[in-house]
Amino acid sequence: MLTARLFGSQDLRIQTESEPQPAPGESIVKVSAVGLCGSDLLWLEEGEIGDAVLEHPLVLGHEFGGVVVENGPGKPGSRQLPPGIRVAVDPAVPCQNCEFCLKGHPNLCERLLFAGHGQIDGGLRQLVSWPDRCLHRVPDEINDEEAALLEPLGVAIHAVDLGKVRPGVDVGVFGCGPIGLLIVQAARAAGASRIFATDEHQHRLQLALELGATRVFQVDGGEEAARVTAANGQRGVEVAFEAAGENPAVEAAVESALPGGRVVLVGIPADNKTTFNAATARRKGLSILLCRRMKHTYPRAMRLVTTGQVNLRALVSHRFPLEQSEEAFRVARQRSGNKVIVNP
């Protein structure tokens, strides 16, 4: 089978490898679509992300879905989806036994395995063997690309949960890449009254408007927080989401939040550092929350898509075969579109 494997910074190789064999409790999935994430770009550009460093050649890609083609030996009490069933793949494999898993926080698992990160190969290959408990059957209304994008939608849902968005609140979204655009939609579905969005790129702001934002502002010398506040009657917003992975977006989120408000940091900074004006955050009594992937969101994500409350298809701007993965990463890095999909 073909794979796109990262050997080091800027060293992505398309090569033929042996097909995987399913372990007990696993099934083989033929991968249909993989979404490229900003974290994948960091792996490619730097060979590391945060405190995780590339220690051996790695297959990237954690937003993916496909079709079950073979079941491995079953495990007592486990459920297996038969061959031919289309699935979304949860890239996170929690241990289910640590303190945090038992408390209902599998995204904080002490022994979490994650596709395309650290030791575990991801989805940029034609076949994947994956635990049955992490495969989610998708309805016919959801196509292959949407199945792959249920993972970033899950992150957006978790971020909105952390922000405690409820009907009538005003929201700011600072950064309108795919995650930011999904937060716009998830916040609207949660009942947000007004949603103000910012980004450097005009095409993303236009899409934010189409997907539910009330007003949008192009990033301009750090003035976007003041513009958001002014547009909302000098009030600011109850919940501010940072989804850019850049400190100016963090600072704008803190500046725009109302006293007693919540700021949810979702982006991953390339330099592994986040700073903001401590005096501003302290005097406002802000709650600063960091979004760690997602938890228990796949069923909700599918309902939001099938009921038309979230539009995933609108996010996809480019598609490439696996053999053109390098070009796919180049386009994603340019940020000339929105979501880039690789179709193995």
The pLDDT assigned to 111 comes to: 94
For the stretch 172-188, pLDDT in tens is 999 999 999 999 999 99
Q: Are 255 and 280 in contact (CB under 8 A)?
A: yes
Q: Are 124 and 148 in contact (CB under 8 A)?
A: no
pLDDT of 46 above 90: no
Residue 209 and residue 206: Cα distance in Å, rounded? 5
Q: Which CATH superfamily is domain 2-137+312-343 in?
A: Medium-chain alcohol dehydrogenases, catalytic domain (3.90.180.10)
Third-level CATH fold of 154-290: Rossmann fold (3.40.50)
The pLDDT assigned to 159 comes to: 98
For the stretch 254-304, pLDDT in tens is 999 999 999 999 999 988 899 999 999 999 999 999 999 999 999 999 999
For the stretch 307-341, pLDDT in tens is 999 999 999 999 999 999 999 999 999 988 899 99
Residue percentage of the chain with pLDDT more than 90: 87
Is the model more confident about 195 or about 49?
Answer: 195
pLDDT of 149 above 80: yes
Q: Residue 120 carries which side chain, given as an amino acid letter? A: I
238-247 mean pLDDT: 96
Domain with CATH 3.40.50.720 in the chain: 154-290
pLDDT of 25 above 90: yes
Domain with CATH 3.90.180.10 in the chain: 2-137+312-343
Residue 337 is encoded by which pair of tokens?
């579109």
Is the model more confident about 98 or about 54?
Answer: 98
Distances (CA, A) of 7 to 42, 44, 48: 14, 9, 12
In sequence order, the 6+-apart residues with CB closer than 8 A to the CB of 200 are 218, 219
Give me the chain's average pLDDT, please: 95
For the stretch 102-146, pLDDT in tens is 999 999 999 999 999 978 999 999 999 999 999 999 999 999 999
What pTM, to 2 d.p., does this model score? 0.95
pLDDT of 12 above 80: yes
Residue 322 and residue 141: Cα distance in Å, rounded? 25
pLDDT of 77 above 70: no
pLDDT of 221 above 90: no
44-73 mean pLDDT: 91
